[in-house]
Structure 1
Amino acid sequence: MQSINWSTEYLPGHTDNFVSNEVIADGITLDAVWENLVDTAKWTTYYDNAANIVLDDQTSSKLKFAEHFRFDTFGFPIDAQVMELVEPTDGKTARLAWHGWQNGDADTQFDVYHAFLIEKLADGRIRLLTQESQIGKPAQDLAAQTPNPMLNGHQSWLDGLVRAAKK
């Protein structure tokens, strides 16, 4: 199975918080999942933990490579930039990843790398994987909570993607 392309700084196990969520589903297409993931105008229709999404390039609501955008999630205002975007063409695994951050002091600075993989499996199944690695005091605080809010929130995102792709 495919995996996330981590830079050394965000390598899981060396950061303050890391979560991994995965869903394998049938009855959906890779293209339908991709369309709902890269079109930020659709996020709030299936995921209730993303709000106030604004792309720097407002000619489209779809993310592009190197796109800078902002959104609110988990109570944080996040600035982000798309670091990896590979469309699901020619049998390739679809990839979307962004670096996100919240500037601040030692107590509020927050730095994340959030990635998605979407791949076609045998028998028409689709694998959706999302992982996020986080650095900073807010990440430490999230990691100390049981259950980890990031784990539940990202599972909700994947479950919502599957529901949206089935429509």
Structure 2
Amino acid sequence: MTTQNAINWPERYLPGTGDNFVSNEVIAKGLSAADVWPFLVDTSTWESYYDNVADISFPQGGGPELRADIHFRFGTFGFPPLDAHVVEFQGPAAGVPGRLSWTARQGGSPEEQLDVLHAWLVEDLPGGRVRILTQETQIGRPAAALAGQRPNPMLNGHQAWLDGLVGAAEKTRA
């Protein structure tokens, strides 16, 4: 029997307590966490495999690779660039999943304010498989508006990100 890891959630962002929550997962054969991780943490690769991200910058320096405690900005889902901060960063290792989480915020009027935690878990599974889990909790009126749309743009957008991430990693294995 295999036990799968879970996202580490700060209490403020516990699933089901915000205005929008989505969870997406893929398990891919023939890839490892080490194959996938570089495409997730190197933001210079994001736009090559995911078309719902733009205007990535590092206003305080650093980048394009994410690391613990780095600040960055990016646009997604039609929002103006969000101010993001990596709050969890652990690269994958033997028996240890890769973990990446960032908060992202948009200020403005109450109608515009958005507060997000986007978390990733990348882990090797037996049989030459990798599991990639991404989950996001959003708080704010823009989040509630997204949650009410059918199909949910967040759910579909994150699935596209996962599919693109796997595709990018597969190209390096070919």
Give structure 2 stretches of 5+ with no counterpart.
none
Which residue number in structure 1 is paired with residue 43 of structure 2?
A: 40
Deviation readout 1:93-151 (Å, 9 max, x if unpaired): 00000000101111000000000000001101100000000000000000000011000
Map of 2:100 onto structure 1: 96
Maintained 8 Å contact 1:111/1:136: yes
The equivalent residue for 1:66 is 69
Q: Provide structure 1 residue ranges, at least 5 long, that are not aligned to the other structure.
A: none
Q: How many residues align?
A: 167
* C-alpha displacement of 1:59: 4.5
Q: Counterpart in 1 of 2:86?
A: 82
Shift of 1:60: 3.7
Contact (CA 8 Å) 2:112, 2:141: kept in 1 or not?
Answer: yes
Quick check: 65-74 or 4-13, which moved more?
Answer: 4-13
RMSD, matched Cα: 1.0
1:35 alignment partner, SS class? helix
1:144 alignment partner, one of 142, 148, 154 = 148
Preserved contact between residue 40 and residue 62 of structure 1 (Cα < 8 Å)? yes
- Please tell me whether the aligned partners of residues 66 and 86 of structure 2 are also in contact (alpha carbons under 8 angstroms): yes
Q: CA deviation at 1:13?
A: 1.0
The correspondence of residues 1-167 of structure 1 with structure 2, limited to 5 A, is 1-56=4-59, 58-76=61-79, 77-167=81-171
Identical aligned residues as a percent: 56
Per-residue Cα deviation, 1:32-64 (whole angstroms, up to 9, x for no partner)? 210000000000000000101002354441001
Could you state the TM-score of these two structures normalised by the residue count of structure 1?
0.97
Secondary structure of the 1:142 match is helix
Q: How far 1:29 moved relative to its partner? A: 2.1
Which 4+ residue blocks in structure 1 deviate beyond 4 angstroms?
none
